[in-house]
Amino acid sequence: MNLIIDFHVHSIYSKDAILSPEKIIRIARRRGLSGVAVTDHDTIRGAMKTKFATFDDFIVVIGAEVKTDRGEIIGLFLNEEIKSREFVEVIEEIKDQDGIIVLPHPYRNKQSAPEDLLSEIDMIEGLNARIPKVLNYKAQCLARDSGLPMIGGSDAHTPFEIGRARTVIPGTSDIKDCLLRGKGIIEGRESLYPVRMLSVMVGKYRRDGIAGLLKAGINKMKK
């Protein structure tokens, strides 16, 4: 039986997300997932809490999405916090834990992928449900041109998003080995625009309150 895993989920331990560890597990199960990777911003606390909340064969991969001086990096299969915020040092810390280094949503917010550092990356997120389809297409082209495996995840911050994008691990393969060998299959599709915007607004409110929400709305109207 194949494993179906959403490799990019945020819990309440991210300042812009509203999902408790228990709710992540409950919703993921209901949507037919075999597991999730909890990848909170700059911490593994949410992943650890989610791992401890499981009681059977549901898979929880411990991860973190770390903001560096060269953009965000996801570390998967971690066992301790990433302390640095410098790109090269973050890469080294993930390697020291025998983790997988993922470049998430490489073109989001008009950012350019750090192509000069792709030799340090293990995988590229080729399907992220929280960004437009055209940016996922660019990420997939980058992965193919670079010869790097792809991984998929919803980037869920709200209950509506869990499992929207995911990665299929064939048979009973070792998950980490399967990913690194490019045997994982990304599937799913982007969330509808209103869902993506709702997720962003919820995050703005939780992180910055009413002021942040109003500022985000004003900036959106100016575009």
pLDDT in tens, 94-148: 999 999 999 999 988 766 666 778 999 999 999 999 999 999 999 999 999 999 9
pTM: 0.91
Q: What burial class does residue 101 get, using C-beta atoms within 10 Å of its C-beta: 0-12 exposed, 13-18 middle, 19+ buried?
A: middle
Cα dihedral across residues 156, 184, 93, 142: positive or negative = negative
Residue 171's pLDDT band (cuts 50, 70, 90): confident
Count the residues in the chain.
Answer: 223
Pair 75, 82: CB distance under 8 Å: yes
Instruction: Compute the distance between CA of residue 220 and CA of residue 210 in angstroms, rounded to an integer.
Output: 15
pLDDT in tens, 25-71: 999 999 999 999 999 999 999 999 999 998 788 999 999 999 999 88
Q: Which helix (H) or strand (E) holds 42?
A: none
